[in-house]
Amino acid sequence: MELSKLTTEKRNEKSMQLDQMSTMEILKTINDEDQKVAKAVEAVLSKVDKAIEHIYKALADGGRLFYVGAGTSGRLGVIDASECPPTFMTPPDMVQTVMAGGNGAFFSAVEGSEDDETQGADDLKAKNLTDKDVVIGITASGRTPYPIGALKYARDIGVYTVSLSCNEGSLISQFAECDIEVVVGPEVLTGSTRMKAATAHKMVLNMISTTTMVKLGKVHENLMVDVHASNYKLMERAKRTIIEITNVSYEEAEETLKSTKNEVKPAIVMIKGGVTYPKAMDAIEYSNGYVRDAINYALQHNV
């Protein structure tokens, strides 16, 4: 009865005849409902902003960001965290996911793992949290014991806590200093929160990680200047980024990138600032990784 009161568990009036619909009718119904997700996210942007400010300050100070979730929520955390090293060249431990049932649960459901509040706390304890870190508990229903246990533990030791759910007045919100409740309404398929709820959470996690990395200086204009050029596609993207910012030829971009061990930032500063690789690295360090400031520093100190 407690579950039946949740918005995420209610029946959607527009899909009551789902099993009688044609393929196109089903698609249109899903698409109509999906269009509500962005509006629901828009309604909580002030909360997302609050969370990002704390996350940015924490990571800038050497802290870490932890996503904690079970099932789809945990998988969304894994996806977002795993994209940070290749996209922004972050250390593997800067953004992490603690998932009910362990890493294997990403591929196969581990039944019952989400119902253990103590395990959520224990799994987070194993990460040796400090008050520099931030923990985000993710649960569509807002009542999943595993992330709730993790947030309780984190809060008890002075870690900044954020909750991400899809029901108003979620239980998990009680244990978060910043509660983000993205109310997307009942799912087309009743209770299937891998649909609208998961889409909303993916959007919010994208916002959190991307905006935080922009604020950390890992983006110049709208270009990834800390991309880890580890394959052909990323190597070509790195070269195009250098060309876009410096207007040099493909050949010069390629040659400069080689001299920086495939790091985009120093290549840009070398070209724009007219400095050597060591001086470019000094400028980047002095400017805390911000390309615009590093170029200005290089130009001012290029003697």
Report the catalytic residues.
83, 114
Q: How far is the C-alpha of 136 from the C-alpha of 196, rounded, in Å?
A: 19
The answer to whether the beta carbons of residues 242 and 228 sit under 8 Å apart is: no
Give the CA radius of gyration of the chain: 22
Residues whose CB is less than 8 angstroms from the CB of residue 80 and which lie 6 or more positions away in sequence, other chains included: 67, 95, 97, 202, 205, 206, 208, 209
19, two tokens: 């099993």
DSSP 179-233: EEE----S-SSTT-TTTHHHHHHHHHHHHHHHHHHHHTT-EETTEETT----SHH
Q: Write phi, then psi, for 246 (nearest 5 degrees).
A: -105, -15
Strand locations in 79-205 (E): 95-99, 134-138, 160-165, 178-181
